[in-house]
């Protein structure tokens, strides 16, 4: 096992250190100090706080703890360490809870439509409480897929001194002498079991083995991709993106985060003072080098638009970085190793050390450091040995792990993982479905033929609505032993667990008249990852005739927040945010 430097070895910068004087004023002094603040203090005194407590910087601890998701189950305990750090540095912690969820329960079901909207719902949740209750800074504890990006959107929107404290990764499971994770069980349940090829005893053993602890599943799925990207963009402390969920190291990170947020308040350092275009470019580079989830790109684009940086960070920049950033992380589901192995090699700082020539080294970090400091610590880790982090000279792949594909089926963009675990191209007749449920049912009944391209449309931000995860379909393909024989194209999303050749986030989506809406069964579809292309072999004149005849199908049942997405969601290449005034879909 390789030793990773403790966060305790990174001296937190603030106060009078490095010649910086402490700030003598903070936001809540206006509202909680003096006679005019008596009615506000009275409410908190009902809960045991004192006048002295309320004279300090008031720090919100946003705790997304819950019992519906192992990634968040341990956060209630982790919160206590954040409290300790805040008290220690002269702040007063005030905790409230916010939503969290795990989409596993709704995989392959219509309820999956609620998955992405929880990102925006969490951002609204945090926004409303922080603005109404009035705080000086906040630490947001998060772990899983849509919860981490929801926290990033909230931090960008509120522009307070802000830190993200990721919950960390789960331990790796063990079954019959093999290391396993939840994705191994998923592929059996969705593929081998319906085909009558599953070992029922093996399913029983895996059920008790694949999730051995709290934390995010220990592969480079969306949850761990986003925890790593939160660190890469500078809103966590070093190594916070990869340390194990259940560890003394994670507890020390909690205390250190509590100390750091108070110092950020005293320095007047807000989220937007950190989240520059250079930071988001570093974030994108790291995503490409990790071979992270395609969801990571969606969330980076959403964050860029939240910050008003869409001219600097957009799908064209993603395409450029895809072509110029090598894939370096040998981590499952597309590599050999697990997240704890990656952490022991140095985690995000180690990847950044290898990416040094491609990074903005003067980009700020939330603890008062620069990206150069992450690079320095990562280099020290790599000098002790490595398994999971390849070099720039000998990468896992010469290009980024995510490709942007364009063509007459994706005039603006689409995304695909482009790594060694999948076939690089596929050409075959289309089989079109208007929902994932229809596609999975047809596949299980043997109605999809080898060589075809399964097209799932009206699964985008407005069409589904909610842009559901189509992972259950790819898991079925892989579990049935059809990987490499079929391809999937959709305007929905794919989980970071997904393997096989799949193209997702086709933009514009079918529901706004995108090309997927015009496809017919039997049309030949060509996917070419090396050429970054996605096309249907249809004459231009035929395209024109079909477009003239196309009419939007009747909207699917969309209660509550889904109804809002059906009207107010932006397109995938814009981050698929829920906004009051969506930008025209043909705008980058």
- Strand-strand pairing, 58-63 and 137-142: parallel
- Nearest-CA neighbor of 399 among 285, 503, 526? 285
Q: How far is it, in rounded angstroms, from Cα 573 to Cα 538?
A: 24
Q: How far is it, in rounded angstroms, from Cα 24 to Cα 42?
A: 24
257 is catalytic: no
| CA 276 to mean position of chain CA atoms | 19
Residues linked to residue 431 through DSSP beta bridges, in sequence order? 454
- Nearest-CA neighbor of 75 among 152, 162, 153, 148? 148
Q: Please, which residues have CB within 8 angstroms of residue 465's CB and are 6 or more apart in sequence?
A: 113, 511, 555, 556, 558, 562, 563, 565, 566, 569
| CA 284 to mean position of chain CA atoms | 12
**DSSP character string of 446-506:** T-S-TT-EEEE-S-STTTTTS--B-HHHHHHHHHTT-BTTBEEEESSB--TT--SSEEEEE
Q: Token match 């969306």: residue?
A: 222
Catalytic hit among 257, 495, 507, 533: 495
Burial class (CB in 10 A: 0-12, 13-18, 19+), 340: buried
Question: What are the phi and psi torsion angles at 388 (to 5°)?
Answer: -100, -15
Q: With contact defined as beta carbons under 8 Å apart, do 405 and 534 qualify?
A: yes
The DSSP H or E segment spanning 76 is: helix 75-88
Q: Which two tokens stand for residue 182?
A: 């939840």
The DSSP H or E segment spanning 163 is: strand 162-166
Residues linked to residue 569 through DSSP beta bridges, in sequence order? 578
- Nearest-CA neighbor of 346 among 386, 299, 294? 386
Q: How far is it, in rounded angstroms, from Cα 532 to Cα 513?
A: 22
Query: How far is residue 146 from each of residues 221, 300, 478, measured CA to CA in Å?
Result: 12, 12, 25
Burial class (CB in 10 A: 0-12, 13-18, 19+), 100: buried
3-state secondary structure of 325: coil
Q: With contact defined as beta carbons under 8 Å apart, do 286 and 254 qualify?
A: no
For the packed helices 315-324 and 294-306, what is the interaxial angle rounded to 10 degrees?
130
Give me the active site residues, please: 495
């Amino acid at each position: 096992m390789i030793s990773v430097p403790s966060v305790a070895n990174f001296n937190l910068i603030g106060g009078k250190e490095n010649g910086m004087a402490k700030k003598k004023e903070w936001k809540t002094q206006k509202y909680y100090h003096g006679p005019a603040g008596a009615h506000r203090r009275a409410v908190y005194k009902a809960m045991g706080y004192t006048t002295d407590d309320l004279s300090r910087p008031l720090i919100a601890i946003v705790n997304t703890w819950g019992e519906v998701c192992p990634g968040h189950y341990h956060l209630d305990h982790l919160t206590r360490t954040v409290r300790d750090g805040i008290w220690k540095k002269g702040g007063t912690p005030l905790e409230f809870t916010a939503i969290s969820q795990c989409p596993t329960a709704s995989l392959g079901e219509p309820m999956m439509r609620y998955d992405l909207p929880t990102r925006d719902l969490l951002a609204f949740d945090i926004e409303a409480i922080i603005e109404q209750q009035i705080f000086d800074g906040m630490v947001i504890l998060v772990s899983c897929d849509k919860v981490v990006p929801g926290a990033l959107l909230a931090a960008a929107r509120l522009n307070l001194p802000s830190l993200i404290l990721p919950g960390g990764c789960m331990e790796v499971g063990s079954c019959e002498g093999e290391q396993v994770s939840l994705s191994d069980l998923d592929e059996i349940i969705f593929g081998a079991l319906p085909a009558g090829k599953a070992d029922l005893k093996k399913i029983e053993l895996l059920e008790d083995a694949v999730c051995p602890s709290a934390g995010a599943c220990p592969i480079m799925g969306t949850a761990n991709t986003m925890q790593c990207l939160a660190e890469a963009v500078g809103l966590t402390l070093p190594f916070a993106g990869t340390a194990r969920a259940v560890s003394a190291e994670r507890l020390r990170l909690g205390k250190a985060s509590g100390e750091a947020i108070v110092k950020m308040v005293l320095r007047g350092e807000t989220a937007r003072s950190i989240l520059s275009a250079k930071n988001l470019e570093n974030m994108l580079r790291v995503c490409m080098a990790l071979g992270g989830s395609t969801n990571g790109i969606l969330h980076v684009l959403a964050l860029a638009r939240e910050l008003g940086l869409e001219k600097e960070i957009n799908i064209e920049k993603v395409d450029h970085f895809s072509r110029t950033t090598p894939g370096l992380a040998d981590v499952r589901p597309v590599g050999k190793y697990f997240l704890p192995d990656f952490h022991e090699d140095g985690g995000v700082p180690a990847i950044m050390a290898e990416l040094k020539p491609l990074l903005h080294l003067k980009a700020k970090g939330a603890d008062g450091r620069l990206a150069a400091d992450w690079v320095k610590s990562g280099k020290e880790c790599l000098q002790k040995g490595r398994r999971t982090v390849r070099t720039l000279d000998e990468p896992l792949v010469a290009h980024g792990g995510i490709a942007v594909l364009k063509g007459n089926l994706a005039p603006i963009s689409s995304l695909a993982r482009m790594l060694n675990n999948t076939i690089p191209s596929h050409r075959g007749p289309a089989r079109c479905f208007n929902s994932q449920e229809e596609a999975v049912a047809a596949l299980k009944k043997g109605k999809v033929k080898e060589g075809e391209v399964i097209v799932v449309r009206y699964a985008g931000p407005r069409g589904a609505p909610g842009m559901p995860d189509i992972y259950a379909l790819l898991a079925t393909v892989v579990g049935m032993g059809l990987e490499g024989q079929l391809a999937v194209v959709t305007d929905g999303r794919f989980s970071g667990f997904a393997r096989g050749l799949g193209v997702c986030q086709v933009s514009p989506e079918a529901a706004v008249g995108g090309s997927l809406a015009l496809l017919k069964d039997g049309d030949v579809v060509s996917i070419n990852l090396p050429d970054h292309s996605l096309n249907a072999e249809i004459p231009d004149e035929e395209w024109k005739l079909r477009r003239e005849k196309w009419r939007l199908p009747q909207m699917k049942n969309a209660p509550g927040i889904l109804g809002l997405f059906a009207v107010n969601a932006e397109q995938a290449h814009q981050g698929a945010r829920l906004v009051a005034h969506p930008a025209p879909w043909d705008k980058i």
